[in-house]
């Protein structure tokens, strides 16, 4: 398969102004009549019209009502000798496709008897021949015809303008979208669905109908999604002055979906996981994810749909910006400063545990990639999460008001256009002349073009006589594929200084006449920068990169005492948490590197890894009445095995697992009475509310239970496991019930088996809950290699279906991608399981298979014997004769 390159972009040689689609929906053979008005792009030299198509049966092509000659070339339908005049011509194409055979879930497919489409990025070509690229924007009208009994609801983008009955028990619906759009935003849905409806009046005084469509029986689980949608509409109006531009905005849920959701204009299609919630079946995390995904897709209506991407290399233009917007929305919804910090910590955790490894691995790519083989492989954490960090840095550099001005200018300039990341950055900078961004825009844009995670090294020197503190910041960035050296990044570094007693020092830099605020942002835009603070009465403790002001690694040689000061006193909640993480990380790294007092073959390790000072500090945090429960839960959470592994040059995954498990046990036993107190204080029995504060209390109670069950396994105590089992049985909501179940399962308590069986029996008819049941068993800490056989047995469970992406993710991905201690077996059985599953999935759904293929991205860091066995497994996949280009790209890059 050949790569596409960003530099090869050319404007389309033809425009498609209008599209009139007629669908005769039939699962076995759907007929699609596509009538377009096409005209030459006069700005581009004359070329044949090349239309993309995939898996289509072509029946007829007509130009201006008459048959025409055509040829096929590499899957494209090529038409030559077309009318070249300005008025254009009518092009009619009649094709058929087989939705029920579409297991890739791209294009038109059937899920549980309902038709759905997924067109982003290149799925529209599986519906009809078209210029399947985002810079071709057309007006659509769509006529849907189908059997009325089987498909009573017929939906497409825009407004329903006509509907009625047809002969033979069929009916029709005609939809007209008032907005021009690229074809990746086209959607249709047809099936037996019911809707929760809500009428709203927006700030502009216009009335809108909001609808959430689900299968009959699920209507009771749509309230939270609808509330989230209403909140999203209100938030975008208040924060950015952006109103809903449609009379009707629909969300439809499907249980067969490759990703989380899709922002089709006016007809969002969602994975059920991000729509359905009730307190009995969804956890607090589910509730919060629903709010953020509903927000994300809604915010795309402006950032993505009204202004879209010129080409797929610009994907982060819409995704990075929209993730930034959904993160801000969730923070604003969370309310308190502490809840905002919790959200920021959660977002940074994802960035550091998933995106940093991506940026250091074989699939590393800039936020605006230079090339790709399969665009579906580039819906990555780099495009989304690092892209959001780039937008966040712009926000930091121009300020909240300045950013709002920039957004306004962006829409003034580009509404209705398909544009680039450069256009976005220019709008933000131009709206803020003289700002820290505008004055170094070209250098700032290296965040778009250079891959890799920069490292900021900080060194401080205190001069007691002069009462000055000199801080030197310097930056470097490791080589990434095709980018051996990098130019300096523009890095906003928010910082403060703490006195030894932990109090915040007002900051005064050399040349300033008076001390200022105790926190400020400096901009590191060269290889190094030296800052001199004056009037510093004693050696300070620097608090650097506050709020994680840039997506970098910070290297500062903190002493343990300095980190303990930050953990106890930093006014920046992010850095307070970060100090605890650094202390825990340091203990773990020392233990991993230390004498081999743990078996590398998955044995347990009895060593005391965290010292008394750290444990005392964590105890104080847990007991601190000033801190919110959600924040405590984060401070008391150990860095993940994958994050620990990323800090090492050579990884023995079993050693990492053993050390972390030993730390977990130490935390459980050393703080046992504190966990009891935390549980008693936070296990709310009142009415369930999904708000951030209540969810935080439940999170801490769940963590405490998990720790108490673990400690009990060590001491033989039966009380806490018994209490946990009781709580599992009596719980009034899924968060508490699942936390109790997880505490029993992850501690390996004998009660776990009965609880798992009971859980399955209780929820056997709820697919999303059964996904949790699979995921818990596949993700549990390994004890003597028990997880892989359990996963293999679960693959044979009657509820397991590999073709359903949610189910495949819940079992296979939970094992291969989220349970390193169980996956990285020295005998290579985990890797062989992975290779077999990648190949099996690839025959069904290449996109999902390629995601699974990423599980071994970091194989070259592994110690022996893991490294060699992993290499063999990847080579086995790469050597397979029939491989999709999705999987081939991932494994080829892994082996390069």
Indicate which residues carry an active-site annotation.
297
Contact between 121 and ligand HT7 per CB under 6 A: yes
Binding string, residues 830-859; x marks residues near ligand HT7 by CB under 6 A: -----------------x------------
Which partner from the list ligand HT7, Zn ion, none does 773 bind, CB cut-off 5 to 8 Å by kind? none
Q: Residue 744 Cβ, how far from Zn ion at the closest point, in Å?
A: 37
Residue 132 binds which entry of Zn ion, ligand HT7, none, with Cβ cut-offs from 5 to 8 Å by kind?
Answer: none
Q: Say which entry of ligand HT7, Zn ion, none residue 376 contacts (CB below 5 to 8 A, set by partner kind).
A: ligand HT7
Task: Please report whether residue 379 would count as binding ligand HT7 according to CB under 6 A.
Answer: yes
Cα–Cα dist 14/136, whole Å: 9
Binding site partner of 245, from ligand HT7, Zn ion, none, Cβ cut-off 5-8 A by kind: none
322/706 with CB nearer Zn ion: 322
Q: Return the residue matching tokens 């080829």.
A: 892
Contact 418, 583 (CB under 8 A): no
Least Å distance between CB 233 and ligand HT7?
A: 17
Binding segment for ligand HT7 among 10-18, 258-266, 512-520, 612-620 (CB under 6 A)?
A: 258-266
Q: What is the greatest pairwise CA distance in the chain? A: 95
Q: Name the residue number minimizing CB distance to ligand HT7.
A: 259
| Residue appearing with tokens 């903190």 | 558
How wide is the angle at C-alpha 60 spanned by C-alphas 57 and 62, nearest 5°? 145
Q: Is residue 271 part of the contact set for ligand HT7 (CB under 6 A)?
A: no
323/678 with CB nearer ligand HT7: 323
Contact of 450 with 370, CB cutoff 8 Å: no
Please report, as residue ranges, which positions from 16 to 45 form the binding site for Zn ion (by CB under 5 A).
none
118 scored as a contact of ligand HT7 (CB under 6 A) = yes
Q: Which residues pair with 493 in a beta bridge?
A: 522
Listed in sequence order, the DSSP H helices in 335-444 are 337-350, 356-360, 381, 387-414, 421-430, 441-444
Long-range CB contacts (< 8 A, 24+ apart) of 609-613?
609/659, 609/662, 609/663, 609/666, 610/583, 610/584, 610/663, 610/666, 610/667, 610/670, 611/587, 613/560, 613/564
DSSP letter at 480 equals B
Our CB check for ligand HT7 shows the closer of 308 and 353 to be 308
Nearest CB to Zn ion, comparing residues 322 and 777: 322
User: Shortest Cβ distance from residue 323 to Zn ion (Å)?
Assistant: 7
- Least distance in angstroms from the C-beta of 526 to ligand HT7: 35
Q: Residue from 120, 132, 311, 374 that binds ligand HT7 (CB under 6 A)?
A: 120
Look at residue 120 and give the partner it binds from ligand HT7, Zn ion, none, a contact being a CB closer than 5 to 8 Å depending on partner kind. ligand HT7
Q: How near is the Cβ of 322 to ligand HT7 at its closest, in Å?
A: 7
Note whether 735 and 278 are within 8 A (CB).
Answer: no
Q: Which does 262 bind (CB under 5 to 8 A by kind): ligand HT7, Zn ion, none?
A: ligand HT7
DSSP assignments along 656-696, one per residue: HHHHHHHHHHHHHHHTHHHHHHHHHHH---S----SHHHHH
Distance (Å, rounded) from C-alpha 866 to C-alpha 507? 50
**Of residues 293-312, which lie at the interface with ligand HT7 (CB under 6 A)?**
296-297, 300
Beta-carbon contacts of 691 under 8 Å, excluding residues fewer than 6 positions away, are none
Tell which residue, 303, 154, 163, 157, has the closest CA to residue 232: 303
**Cβ pair 141, 178 in contact under 8 A:** no
The minimum distance between CB 260 and ligand HT7, in angstroms, equals: 6
Report which DSSP code applies to 205.
S
Give the SS3 label for residue 460: strand
Report the residue number, 116 or 763, with the smaller CB distance to ligand HT7.
Answer: 116
The rounded distance, in Å, linking the Cα atoms of 569 and 483 is: 41
132 binds ligand HT7 (CB under 6 A): no
Give the torsion sign (CA, 665, 671, 676, 682): negative
830: tokens are 């985990």
Site of tokens 């053993």: 658
Q: How far is the CB of 321 from Zn ion (least distance, A)?
A: 9
Pick one of ligand HT7, Zn ion, none as the site partner of residue 547 (Cβ within 5 to 8 A by kind): none
Tell me whether residue 295 or residue 696 sits nearer to ligand HT7 (CB atom).
295
Task: Work out which of 77, 187, 229, 262 binds ligand HT7, going by CB under 6 A.
Answer: 262
Residue 368's binding partner out of ligand HT7, Zn ion, none, with CB under 5 to 8 Å set by partner kind: none
CB of 300 to Zn ion, least distance (A): 6
- 131-to-22, 23, 44, 85, 114 alpha-carbon distances in Å: 18, 19, 15, 19, 27
Of the candidate residues 319, 494, 525, 578, the single one contacting ligand HT7 (CB under 6 A): 319
CB of 379 to ligand HT7, least distance (A): 5
* Sole window of 35-43, 207-215, 313-321, 886-894 interacting with Zn ion (rule: CB under 5 A): 313-321
Look at residue 259 and give the partner it binds from Zn ion, ligand HT7, none, a contact being a CB closer than 5 to 8 Å depending on partner kind: ligand HT7
Using CB under 6 A as the binding rule, whether residue 76 contacts ligand HT7 is answered as: no
Q: Which residue from 157, 258, 666, 703 is in contact with ligand HT7, where contact means CB under 6 A?
A: 258
Show the beta-strand stretches assigned E in 170-329: 170-176, 181-182, 188-191, 194-201, 207-214, 248-254, 261-262, 267-271, 308-309
* Least Å from the CB of residue 5 to ligand HT7: 21
- Tell me, by CB under 6 A, how many residues bind ligand HT7: 15
Nearer to ligand HT7, 107 or 191 (CB): 107
Strand-pair partners of 78? 50, 71
Stretch that binds ligand HT7, among 253-261, 595-603, 668-676, 785-793 (CB under 6 A): 253-261
Say whether 574 sits in a helix, a strand or coil: helix
CB distance 129 to 206 below 8 Å: no
* Residue 259 contacts ligand HT7 per CB under 6 A: yes
Looking at the Cβ atoms of 319 and 782, the one nearer to Zn ion is 319
Q: Candidates 202-210, 261-269, 425-433, 758-766: pick the segment binding ligand HT7 (CB under 6 A).
A: 261-269
Residue 246 burial (C-beta neighbours within 10 Å; 0-12, 13-18, 19+): buried
Distance separating alpha carbons of residues 76 and 771, to the nearest angstrom: 40
Contact region for Zn ion (CB under 5 A) — 67-75, 320-328, 781-789, 859-867?
320-328
Segment interacting with ligand HT7 (CB under 6 A) among 32-40, 254-262, 606-614, 656-664: 254-262
Report the residue number, 126 or 395, with the smaller CB distance to ligand HT7: 126
Closest CB to Zn ion among 315 and 848? 315
Q: How far is the CB of 134 from ligand HT7 (least distance, A)?
A: 11
Question: Which is closer to Zn ion, CB of 239 or CB of 569?
Answer: 239
Residues 297, 233: Cα–Cα separation, whole Å: 11
319 or 385: CB nearest Zn ion: 319
DSSP output for 500-538: TTSPEEPP-BTT-SS---S-EEEEE-SSEEEEEE----S
Place of tokens 């299968």: 215
Binding site for ligand HT7 (CB under 6 A): 118, 120-121, 258-259, 261-263, 296-297, 300, 319, 376, 379, 847
Binding site for Zn ion (CB under 5 A): 319, 322
């Amino acid at each position: 398969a050949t790569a596409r390159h960003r530099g090869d972009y050319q404007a389309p040689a033809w425009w498609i102004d209008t599209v009139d689609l007629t669908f005769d929906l039939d699962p076995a053979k759907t007929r699609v009549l596509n009538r377009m008005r096409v005209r030459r792009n006069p700005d581009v030299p004359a070329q044949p019209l090349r239309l993309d198509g995939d898996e289509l049966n072509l029946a007829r092509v007509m130009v201006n009502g008459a048959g025409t000659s055509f040829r096929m070339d590499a899957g494209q339908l090529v038409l030559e000798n077309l009318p070249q005049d300005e008025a254009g011509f009518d092009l009619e194409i009649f094709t058929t496709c087989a939705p029920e055979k579409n297991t890739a879930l791209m294009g038109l497919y059937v899920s549980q008897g309902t038709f759905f489409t997924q067109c982003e990025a290149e799925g529209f070509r599986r519906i009809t021949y078209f210029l399947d690229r985002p810079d071709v924007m057309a007006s659509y009208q769509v006529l849907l015809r189908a059997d009325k009994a089987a498909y009573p609801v017929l939906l497409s983008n825009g407004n329903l303008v006509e509907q009625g009955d047809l002969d033979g028990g069929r009916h029709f619906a005609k939809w007209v979208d008032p907005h021009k759009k690229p074809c990746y935003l086209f959607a249709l849905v047809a099936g037996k669905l019911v809707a929760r409806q809500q009428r709203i009046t927006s700030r502009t005084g216009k009335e809108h109908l909001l609808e959430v469509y689900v299968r009959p029986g699920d209507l009771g689980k749509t309230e939270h999604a609808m509330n989230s949608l209403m909140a999203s509409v209100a938030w975008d109006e208040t924060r950015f002055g952006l109103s809903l531009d449609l009379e009707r905005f629909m969300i439809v849920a499907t249980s067969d979906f490759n990703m989380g959701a899709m922002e089709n204009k006016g007809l969002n299609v969602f994975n059920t996981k991000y729509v359905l919630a009730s307190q009995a079946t969804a956890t607090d995390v589910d509730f919060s994810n629903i709010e953020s995904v509903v927000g994300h897709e809604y915010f795309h209506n402006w950032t993505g749909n009204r202004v879209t991407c010129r080409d797929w290399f610009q994907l982060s233009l819409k995704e990075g910006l929209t993730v930034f917007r959904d993160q801000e929305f969730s923070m604003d919804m969370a309310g308190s400063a502490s809840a905002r910090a919790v959200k920021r910590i959660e977002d940074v955790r994802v960035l550091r545990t998933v995106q940093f490894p991506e940026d250091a691995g074989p699939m590393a790519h800039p936020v605006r990639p230079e090339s790709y083989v399969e665009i579906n492989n580039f819906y990555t954490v780099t495009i989304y999460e690092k892209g959001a960090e780039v937008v966040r840095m712009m926000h930091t550099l121009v300020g909240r008001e300045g950013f709002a001005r920039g957004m306004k200018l962006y829409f003034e300039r580009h509404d209705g256009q398909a544009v680039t990341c450069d256009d976005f950055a220019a709008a933000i900078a131009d709206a803020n002349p003289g700002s820290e961004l505008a004055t170094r825009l070209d250098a700032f844009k290296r965040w778009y073009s250079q891959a890799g995670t920069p490292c900021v090294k900080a060194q401080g020197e205190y001069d007691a006589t002069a009462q000055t503190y000199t801080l030197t910041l310097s930056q470097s960035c490791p080589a990434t594929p095709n980018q051996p050296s990098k130019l300096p990044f523009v890095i906003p570094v928010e910082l403060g200084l703490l006195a030894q007693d932990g109090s915040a020092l007002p900051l005064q830099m050399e040349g300033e006449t008076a001390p200022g605020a105790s926190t400020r942002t400096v901009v590191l835009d060269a290889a190094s920068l030296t800052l001199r603070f004056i009037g510093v009465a004693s050696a300070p403790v620097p608090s650097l990169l506050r709020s994680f002001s840039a997506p970098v690694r910070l290297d500062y040689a903190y002493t343990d005492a300095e980190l303990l000061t930050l953990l106890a006193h930093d006014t920046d909640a992010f850095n307070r948490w970060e100090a605890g993480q650094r202390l825990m990380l340091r203990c773990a790294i020392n233990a991993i590197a230390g004498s081999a007092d743990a078996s590398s073959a998955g044995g347990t390790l009895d060593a005391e890894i965290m010292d008394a000072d750290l444990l005392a500090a964590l105890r104080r945090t847990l007991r601190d009445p000033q801190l919110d429960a959600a924040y405590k839960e984060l401070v008391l959470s150990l860095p993940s095995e994958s994050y620990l592994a990323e800090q090492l040059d050579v990884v023995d995954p079993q050693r990492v697992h053993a050390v972390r498990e030993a730390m977990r046990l130490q935390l459980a036993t050393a703080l046992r009475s504190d966990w009891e107190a935390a549980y008693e204080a936070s296990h709310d029995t009142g009415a369930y509310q999904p708000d951030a504060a209540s969810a935080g209390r439940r999170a801490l109670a769940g963590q405490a239970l998990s720790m108490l069950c673990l400690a009990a396994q060590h001491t033989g105590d039966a009380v806490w496991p018994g209490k946990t089992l009781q709580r599992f049985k009596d719980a009034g909501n899924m968060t508490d019930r699942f936390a109790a179940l997880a505490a029993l399962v992850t501690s390996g308590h004998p009660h776990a088996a009965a609880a798992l069986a009971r859980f399955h029996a209780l929820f056997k008819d709820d697919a999303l809950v059964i996904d949790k049941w699979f995921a818990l068993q596949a993700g549990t800490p390994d004890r003597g290699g028990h997880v892989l056989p359990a996963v293999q047995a679960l693959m044979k469970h009657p509820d397991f279906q590999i073709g359903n992406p949610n189910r495949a993710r819940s079992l296979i991905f939970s094992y291969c991608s989220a349970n390193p201690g169980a996956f990285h077996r020295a005998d290579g059985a985990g890797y062989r399981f992975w290779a077999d599953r990648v190949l099996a999935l690839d025959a069904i759904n290449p996109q999902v298979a390629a995601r699974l293929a990423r599980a071994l991205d970091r194989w070259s860091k592994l110690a022996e014997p893991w490294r060699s066995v992993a290499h063999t497994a990847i080579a086995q996949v790469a050597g397979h004769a029939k491989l999709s280009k999705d999987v081939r790209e991932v494994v080829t890059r892994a082996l390069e």
